[in-house]
Amino acid sequence: MSTSTPAVSVRALRAGRRRLAANRVVAYGCAAIVALAVLLAVFGPMLAPHDPNASNLSNAFVGPVAGHPLGYDGQGRDLLSRLLTGARTAMLGPFIVVVVSVAVGAALAVIAAWRGGWVDSVVSTVLDILFAFPAILLAILAAAVFGAGLTAPTLALAVAYTPYVARVLRGAALRERARDYIAACEVQGLPAVAIWWRHLVRNLLPLIVAQATLTFGYAMVDFAAISYLGLGVQPPTADWGVMVATGQAGVLQGYPAESLSAGLCVVVVVVAVNLLGERLAERDGEGR
């Protein structure tokens, strides 16, 4: 930071401190929202006050009443119960995408950076080809071939996100590979796998966590879109993406509660995850 005149630097310092504090409040808020979403994914179905699939058509589109704070959906099912239950699949899908794509991406990145040469070029070429397939398209293809449901589109999204994770981690692994401490380990005769686990991956961990968080946000949007299209989680299962789709008839009749509330849940979680991911990535950048 330049200190040309004291007045400017003090002002800049204050502004910087204020921004830092504001950032910290936002970061804690985001972390709280993400934690809540994770808790809902685990316990949501148990917290639901009513059976999410019990329908009573005479209650269709009825607004909030006692015992049903959000009212009913178009088939007379309790909206709050469906939202609470729907958190599970809406979070589980992107979670699987993140676990698979980060594990495979990190493994490919470490191997490519470690071996270099033809291994690196083969891995990089395969990843480049995968870049030509947009995630949504790959998931639609997978659903067409293996059938709609949670499994095929989720794995397809994982495949589609692997190159993005692998490209970032490969660059970082290459930088880390060139460092002296790695060379020191090699000279001491440590087996490669030990160096990977104990040193390379551990030093990449902050970046891996940041990448995983950012990937979760994108994957959640794509997964919900696939369920919205009818190719992912199948109705009548309560799921946020599915609920936006089933509520669409209500939107056109002037009862948007189901679609809007489910959509809002997706947006809130994704905003929180994205801001948290950006902050983690920034902090990792400062550490270097």
Partner 1 sequence: MWRFAARRAAMLAGALLVSSFLIFASLELAPGDPLASLTGGRTLPPEAVEQLRAQYHLDDPFLSRYVHWLGDVFQGELGTSITFREPVSSVIGSRAGVTVELVLYAALLIAVLGVGLGTLAGLRRGRVDASVLVLTSVLAAVPSFVAAIVLLNVFAVNLGWFPALGTGEGLGGTIRHLTLPAIALALSAMAIVVRVTRVAVRTELGREHVQTAVSRGIPYHQVVRRHVLRNAAIPVTTILGITITSLIALSAVVERAFSLDGLGSALVEAALSKDFAVVQGISLVFVAAFIVANTVVDLLYAVLDPRVAMGSRAA
The candidate with the shortest Cα–Cα distance to 86, out of 50, 54, 44, 56, is 44
Q: Which of 195/220 has CB closer to partner 1?
A: 220
Identify the DSSP state of 57. G
User: What is the rounded CA–CA span in Å between residue 255 and residue 18?
Assistant: 43
Rounded Cα distance between 191 and 106, Å, is 19
Of 195 and 280, CB closest to partner 1 = 280
Smallest distance, Å, CB 66 to partner 1? 26
213 touches partner 1 by CB under 8 A: no
Count the neighbouring beta carbons within 10 Å of the beta carbon of residue 205: 12
Binders of partner 1 in range 235-274 (CB under 8 A) = 241, 244-245, 247-248, 251-252, 254, 256, 259-260, 263-264, 266-267, 270-271, 274
| Cβ nearer to partner 1, comparing 150 with 195 | 150
**Does position 231 bind partner 1 by CB under 8 A?**
yes
CB of 272 to partner 1, least distance (A): 9
Determine if 228 is a binding residue for partner 1 (CB under 8 A): yes
Run of H or E including 157: helix 151-177
One residue of 143, 169, 204, 242 binding partner 1 per CB under 8 A: 143
> For residue 72, what are its two tokens?
């009913």
Within 101-130, the residues that bind partner 1 by CB under 8 A are 128-129
Helix (H) or strand (E) holding 32, with range, is: helix 6-47
User: CB of 219 within 8 A of CB of 157?
Assistant: yes
The answer to whether residue 8 forms part of the interface with partner 1 (CB under 8 A) is no
Return the half-sphere exposure (C-beta side, CA atoms, 13 A cut-off) of residue 145: 11
- Judged by the rule CB under 8 A, the positions of this chain that interact with partner 1 are 128-129, 132-137, 140-141, 143-146, 148, 217, 221, 224-225, 228-231, 241, 244-245, 247-248, 251-252, 254, 256, 259-260, 263-264, 266-267, 270-271, 274-275
